[in-house]
Structure 1
Amino acid sequence: MTPDDRALVDRFLDMMAAEAGAARNTLLAYRRDLEAGAEALGQVSTADVEALKGLGEAWRDLASSTVARRAAALRRFFGFLLDEGFREDDPSAALPRPVHQRPLPRILDTHEVEAMFREAEDRAASGAPTALRDLALLELLYGSGLRATELVSLPKASLRPEQPFLILKGKGGKERLVPISQRAHAAAAKWRETLAKDGPWLFPGGKAHLSRVRLFQIVRAMAAASGIAPARVSPHVLRHAFATHLLAGGADLRVLQALLGHADIATTQIYTHVDSARLVELVNARHPLADVPK
């Protein structure tokens, strides 16, 4: 990267930090992507339309998600240069726009989830604290669709008697209300009874709360004990199962969006592809011409 580019990138990142409140990791990611752009273009700040058209070929071997991310960083950088008077034009329309298809999530069917619950419940019947913990984790993952980070960092005080929901800070620091079933509440409350009175976390581990890595290990061990290949199961797979099975049961997509804490309903719509068999059946049964003879 040339000295002129570096100075402008520094000013751009200062703006991102001050005006957009970008986090340190976000700023580092922008810098890496702009450096990659400079490597391909020579001097990124003065690149013209023809130079940008060549990026598609230069980056043809990269994943479409990587190309899309780099192009987005360059697009925002060129917008900054135009707004601040460092350029009189914005060539970003020539940047590559790869088609990025969101992969379908791995899911478990209801019989597999039931097998995991049977195993967890049988172990919890012994009263062993770790078995009670594992059942509470499983109930909250599948029963409420919590993200792994949201689950392991739950404060002990977030679980209150007769309160059928949790209020938590999810992705991006946004608060959301998460309903919990009676059985999930009961399992979590039974586990909480085994904890020290002064600890702040519902799932303590080491010097803080349970780590995401440890949660991953616990979930895979439960899968293996239930006769399910551990490679097929993770906390996120159980979150997907929660969403898919709710949709199959007739849940509204907007309700599902709120439960999962998705900022954009387009993210939630992935589950309509997963449950395509049910949707085809719905069209055949409810379409106004379904019963019209051919």
Structure 2
Amino acid sequence: MNDHLQDFIHYLMIEKGLARNTIMSYERDLRSYILFIEKKMMKQSMNEIERVHIVQFLAQLKDDGKSAKTIARHIASIRSFHQFALREKIADHDPSIHIETPQAEKSLPKVLNMKEVERLLDLPNNGSRFYLRDKAMLEVLYATGIRVSELIHLTINDVHLTMGFLRCIGKGNKERIIPLGKTAQAAIQDYLDKGRQQLLSPKHPTEYLFLNHHGKGLSRQGFWKNLKKTAQVAGIQKELTPHTLRHSFATHLLENGADLRAVQEMLGHADISTTQIYTHVSKTRLKDVYKQFHPRA
């Protein structure tokens, strides 16, 4: 079955064009599934697997304390794997066809209010050679809502300041064009004029827009470390994640009347139901404001 798994991973990579992290997630889930089927169920081929074996594997995940979200992800991986096996004539049936997916609890994303965003973005210049870079990165994240992984892979050619937009390659290598606000444009221009040249290394020429202290592209870990420091200096008490500014971008747009479809396109969501969670965040915030300020709330 591990040979079939490798064929499936190759299919996800070449034909489906999925992101590396997504493929790794599929592979991790399916390796644990195959190990269970072979060791516990004593089955050696795809044709021997029945619905009951999948149910027992899922029960094992639940007994191990896995969340409904994790179990649902495993089911999606297993279902895709068996559909692939049936399509490729590796198996003559799909045992996952009637497996129900548990409803995962949707936790609302943490967002910053406008005052907190302003505190985060309006930090005074501390004289660091990274100040203009960090300022530009935060302004771009809040102005566009792109993911941190997309931010750190931006190149100089992806940013079009005179036209006021940037080009972004998202999940599944899908390209999208996102408007840039004037504040973000100015921050990028300052960084290009006065900051990036100081970080460039003659030994490591690169087209990446945002560079680390070695003159190479910045990592997710490097960005996350900087964000936590910046938030601490700004006095923000809320727990932050690398997606906090992305969540805040979407929520603030919808609160100010933006069209849901437009926000979906800017975020790069394939399904609008993913974007709709931000409407729930907006409603929750409205309720909080009502309770705080209405005299008869």
TM-score of the aligned structures, taking structure 1 as reference length: 0.80
Give, in angstroms, the shift of residue 10 of structure 1. 4.9
Q: Does residue 1:113 correspond to 2:117, yes or no?
A: yes
Residues 159, 167 of structure 2: 8 Å contact kept: no
Per-residue deviation at 1:262?
1.3
Map of 2:27 onto structure 1? 28
1:262 paired residue number: 269
Query: Which residue of 2 is the match for residue 172 of structure 1?
Result: 172
Q: Which residue of 2 aligns with 1:142?
A: 142
Is the Cα–Cα contact under 8 Å of residues 155 and 201 in structure 1 kept in the other structure? yes
1:152 counterpart letter in structure 2: I
Return the letter of the residue paired with 2:278. Answer: Y
Q: Which residue of 1 aligns with 2:217?
A: 209
Instruction: Give the whole-Å Cα distance in 1 for the aligned partners of 2:27 and 2:58.
Output: 23
List per-residue Cα deviations over 1:68-95 (Å, max 9, x = no partner).
2322233233334433445443322343
Tell me how far 1:18 sits from its aligned partner.
Answer: 5.8
Identity of aligned residues (%): 33
Which residue, out of 107, 111, 125, partners 1:103?
107
- Higher deviation after alignment, 75-84 or 12-21: 12-21
The alpha-carbon deviation at position 101 of structure 1 amounts to 3.0
How far apart, in 2, do the equivalents of 1:10 and 1:94 lie? 25
Unpaired runs of 5+ residues, structure 2, are 289-297
Alignment of 1:98-247 (within 5 A): 98-118=102-122, 120=123, 122-123=124-125, 129-194=129-194, 195-196=196-197, 199-205=206-212, 206-229=214-237, 232-247=239-254
SS at match of 1:172: helix
Structure 1 unpaired stretches of 5+: 282-294
Question: In angstroms, what is the RMSD of aligned CA positions?
Answer: 2.9
Q: 1:146 to 1:19 in 2, by over 3 A?
A: closer
* Structure-2 change in CA distance of 1:16 and 1:33 (3 Å): farther
Distance of 2:78 and 2:239 partners within structure 1:
37
Q: Which of the two has higher C-alpha Rg?
A: 1
The whole-number CA distance in structure 1 between the counterparts of 2:6 and 2:266 is 39
TM-score (norm 2): 0.79
- In structure 2, the CA distance between the partners of 1:91 and 1:181, relative to structure 1 (3 Å rule), is same
| Displacement after TM superposition at 1:250 (Å) | 0.7
Equivalents in 2 of 1:259, 1:15: separation in Å? Answer: 28
